[in-house]
Structure 1
Amino acid sequence: MRHIKFLSLVISLSFLVAACNQKSKEDKKDSTDDFEPITNEVLESSVIYEANIRQYSPEGTFDEFTKDIPELKELGVKVIWLMPVYPISMKNRKATPDLSIEDIEDPEEKKKYLGSYYAISDYTAINPEFGSMDDFDELVKTAHDNGMYVILDWVANHTGWDHKWIEEHPEYYHKDNEGNVTDPINPDTGESWGWTDVAHLNYENDSLWTAMKDEMVYWVKEKNIDGFRADVAGNVTTEFWNYVVPKLKEEKPVFMLAESEDKDLFYEAFDMGYNWEGHHLMNEIAKGEMSVKDWDAYMAKIDTTYQKDDYLMNFITNHDENSWNGTVEERMGDASETMLAFTYALPGMPLIYSGQEYGMDKRLKFFEKDSIPKVKGKLWDVHVKLGELKNTNKTLHGAKKAASYKRLSTSNDEKVIAFERSKNGETLIYLANFTDESQEFQTSFYGRYKDYMTSEPLELKTDQIHNFKPWEYKILISE
């Protein structure tokens, strides 16, 4: 009888534990599902963070990144963009920009080449190097619990050569005259882009549209992600994006970022694009090869190019720039912090790329394991300060209801930039010497301000001569 009672107690406890575990899972799911969908109001004051999971930590896992999500709040981050998290094809895997893994003879040498994140073998699976799907779910939940949204890097233009569609649906791909699937071809030259580790999808096939839509909907519906960053968005037909985004929004509101400046993409599908041209201009100004005059011409150009509610992502680095064109220090030198503050002050949304917040001064390996430094220093504090301003000050609203941008004149407009952002009666001024030499100037504007970065009061008078050191900048808030 005692055995029966004991067995009954064990069974009861087992049911109780199972019920508790089930309730815990349901609570976890409910806490994620109840997270408020993304809105333009959130995006107005957002900082976006590009997370390179492979290189973010020595472990290169979701778990190690998830641990740091609460710290990203200190930087003002509201949107986390995850670089591709999917399994990477082995066939034709890149070892270097010019060599594939098949070109490497030593088996041990081969192991270190992990390939490009953008050569995807399965759109609805997780790269096992990063962890499990449960680990991914925990990342999304932690982000949501901390008031942040998660968008996935989506590669609609091509798949890896191991993707099942190669065998099951060859009609989804571009082919040469002999019927062989091709890597992506530059339409202007008819030659390969050099992306030999991927196979080019062909959007003239309507069935591909449905298949790709289903893969994207999976992440929104089943994994509760909040949108997508579209890799080489302009290489995929605008019609496809106009078709698929409403399908995603049937599930929930989503945020769409295009790796493109093509204005046609923003009419219906995308919320934000890349400020590539502005970024390249910043690099050239930092080198002394262009001036404030060139920047003014660019701002006049985009003012007439885009619709009023279009906006762009501003950045001093990203995964492409860092690995292929150089670190911030290499490209911008002493102008680095000035240009960083510039990306926050401009209309649009500022980007932080993994490692930037720590002042990373190395090019991360792209096809191999690497790791960012994680020692907080001056640049961490600068990012915290700028993030707080972006989050809290309406004058830096940068999405569909952005604060206005007004160029202010000085007596030295080719070397000194000054502009005003204003909204709802509040104003902010960005004032900087955009050269590597000291500059004297007078301003056409005046008043009492606070220097936001130093908290010191500052009075500007029209008859006052200012002398700014090389690359000196100020963010001025009306007192």
Structure 2
Amino acid sequence: MRLGLTLLASAVLAAPALAAPDYTPRDYVEVRNAEWTRDAVIYQLNTRQFTSEGTFRAATRQLPRLAAMGVDIVWLMPIHPIGEANRKGSLGSPYAVRNYRAVNPELGTEADFRAFVAEAHRLGLKVILDWVANHSATDNPLTKSHPEWYTRTPEGALMSPQGTDWSDVADFDYSQPGLRQYMTESLAHWVREYGIDGFRCDVAGYVPTDFWETARAELDTVKPVFMLAEWEQRDLHARAFDATYGWGWKEAMQKLVRSGEGAGAIRGYYAAQAETWPRAAMRMIYTENHDQNSWDGVASQIYGPAYEAAIALSFTGSGLPLIYNGQEADNDRQLKFFERDPIVWKEGKHAALFAKLIALKTATPALHNGRFGAPMVEVPTSESADVYAFTRGAPGERIFAVFNLSPRPHAVTFDKARHHGRYTDALTGAPARFGGGETLDLPAWGYRIFKETK
């Protein structure tokens, strides 16, 4: 026994010392955002409905208008040939891809698309493509050339993604290395051959995260890209995506509009964002997009009298704002998803608001995206149940915003000195000063945005 203890003691003394743990905080987000994403505003363009012609050529003629609005990234809904088997409607869903390396002839030619990208770049705009990696059209040639790349029913048939009614598509099986290689090379094809600047990735959470991480690394060897995931998951930001959907923002805003309960829901969203998401993670915020417009309703009807406040908050709170084509023209109907249904363009009453908010975001570092911007600091008010007030930025360059997120008017006073300073109204240019004792009268769903002056 004594010999055994001696040997044990000798082994312990001879064992190498354990490395001291490193308690230094590490940045969870390893993705390096391209500099042009700093103050980016995204504009979603549905080529099928964007012009009366529904073509790249017609859309190209509208790019100067978008550049003049101040948007930075043009997101094109899928531009690939659409499957014919099990097609929904007469034109089918653009999310039923028949060929990942070709252009849908209904929208134009490859030369037309190249011209679109070239003009966008000339105007200082970036172009990202909608990418459908999780499934293809049921008549995509890959179903014949690589049948092993698809998920199968117990009987061996192609199947839609589980739990969906997407009867026009077949689910991919990402346990197949060949599929991963093909899809990554297809993504790189559009960056290398057409010069596009990134992707919005459809139902990104249905595809394994390690695929996206590998694909992002490959794409960044071609050029710095911007990647937006249609999903809400922190892990996607680590090594794959610049931005994810802020569905929680939309849900909170729509909840408080429906109920009239006040600002609690949106306060909870921003609190959870600050506590549980990395600050470098860009979260895309929107009042309308193609899914909401086609299936839920028109934004102006969903938000009603709170619509302008919702738009303004999407630009001043933390988040990467999105504009859906037609919002600036006050589009007042749900666009058909599987048919041609062109937007009726007119001078919209919200066009000027969008332009002012974009200009404010561009000129104000505190409002920039992700790691580039400043956190929100809540300013307590006398009407905290209904009113949400906050600052962003360091003293001397702050934004101070006050939102009455209720159907009740309020005379608002402020506690503490978190917002004290000299400002101008960011939308009207009127001077304002806050030093204590001020009252701000806000109508139902009213808001004010102030920019600090030095």
Partner of 1:59: 53
Deviation at 1:318, TM superposition (A): 0.2
Once the two structures are superposed, the pairs formed by residues 54-453 of structure 1 within 5 Å of their partners are: 54-95=48-89, 113-186=90-163, 193-423=164-394, 425-444=396-415, 445-453=419-427
Residues 216/402 of structure 1: CA separation in 2 closer, same or farther (3 Å cut): same
User: What amino acid does structure 1 have at the position aligned with 2:83?
Assistant: S
- Residue of 438, 449, 452 corresponding to 1:464: 438
- Partners of 2:306 and 2:165 in 1: CA distance: 33
- Partners of 2:218 and 2:165 in 1: CA distance: 33
Deviation at 1:447, TM superposition (A): 3.2
Query: Normalising by the residue count of structure 2, what TM-score does the alignment of the two structures yield?
Result: 0.90
Aligned pair count?
A: 419
Deviation at 1:79, TM superposition (A): 0.6
Structure 2 contact 67–123 (Cα < 8 Å) conserved: yes
Cα distance per residue 1:185-213 (max 9 Å; x no partner): 13xxxxxx100000000101111101111
- Partners of 2:431 and 2:188 in 1: CA distance: 52
Deviation at 1:289, TM superposition (A): 4.7
Deviation at 1:285, TM superposition (A): 1.7
User: What amino acid does structure 1 have at the position aligned with 2:420?
Assistant: Y
Query: Normalising by the residue count of structure 1, what TM-score does the alignment of the two structures yield?
Result: 0.85
Residues 90/290 of structure 1: CA separation in 2 closer, same or farther (3 Å cut): farther
- Partners of 1:306 and 1:62 in 2: CA distance: 38
DSSP-derived class of the 2:407 partner: coil
Cα distance per residue 1:316-343 (max 9 Å; x no partner): 0000000100001221001111110100
Structure 1 contact 40–400 (Cα < 8 Å) conserved: no
- Partners of 1:236 and 1:178 in 2: CA distance: 23
Runs of 4+ in 1 over 3 A off after TM superposition: none
DSSP-derived class of the 1:250 partner: helix
Partner of 1:189: none
- Partners of 2:37 and 2:346 in 1: CA distance: 29
DSSP-derived class of the 2:183 partner: helix
Deviation at 1:58, TM superposition (A): 1.1
Task: Give ranges in structure 1 of 5+ residues lacking alignment.
Answer: 1-37, 96-112, 187-192
- Partners of 1:319 and 1:226 in 2: CA distance: 21
User: What amino acid does structure 1 have at the position aligned with 2:138?
Assistant: W
- Partners of 1:399 and 1:148 in 2: CA distance: 20
Structure 1 contact 281–290 (Cα < 8 Å) conserved: no
Cα distance per residue 1:256-297 (max 9 Å; x no partner): 000011111111000001011111111112223543122222
Identity of aligned residues (%): 38
Once the two structures are superposed, the pairs formed by residues 27-46 of structure 1 within 5 Å of their partners are: 40-46=34-40
- Partners of 2:161 and 2:170 in 1: CA distance: 7
User: What amino acid does structure 2 have at the position aligned with 1:287?
Assistant: R
DSSP-derived class of the 1:273 partner: strand
Cα distance per residue 1:328-362 (max 9 Å; x no partner): 12210011111101000011211011101111111
Deviation at 1:122, TM superposition (A): 0.3
Deviation at 1:467, TM superposition (A): 2.1
DSSP-derived class of the 1:234 partner: helix
- Partners of 1:213 and 1:381 in 2: CA distance: 41
Query: Considering only aligned residues, what root-mean-square deviation do their CA atoms show, in Å?
Result: 1.4
Task: Give ranges in structure 2 of 5+ residues lacking alignment.
Answer: 1-31
Deviation at 1:460, TM superposition (A): 3.1
- Partners of 2:123 and 2:342 in 1: CA distance: 25
DSSP-derived class of the 2:358 partner: helix
User: What amino acid does structure 2 have at the position aligned with 1:77?
Assistant: V
Deviation at 1:300, TM superposition (A): 1.7
Residues 263/290 of structure 1: CA separation in 2 closer, same or farther (3 Å cut): farther
Deviation at 1:381, TM superposition (A): 0.9
Identify the range of structure 1 (60-69 vs 461-470) with the bigger mean alpha-carbon deviation. 461-470
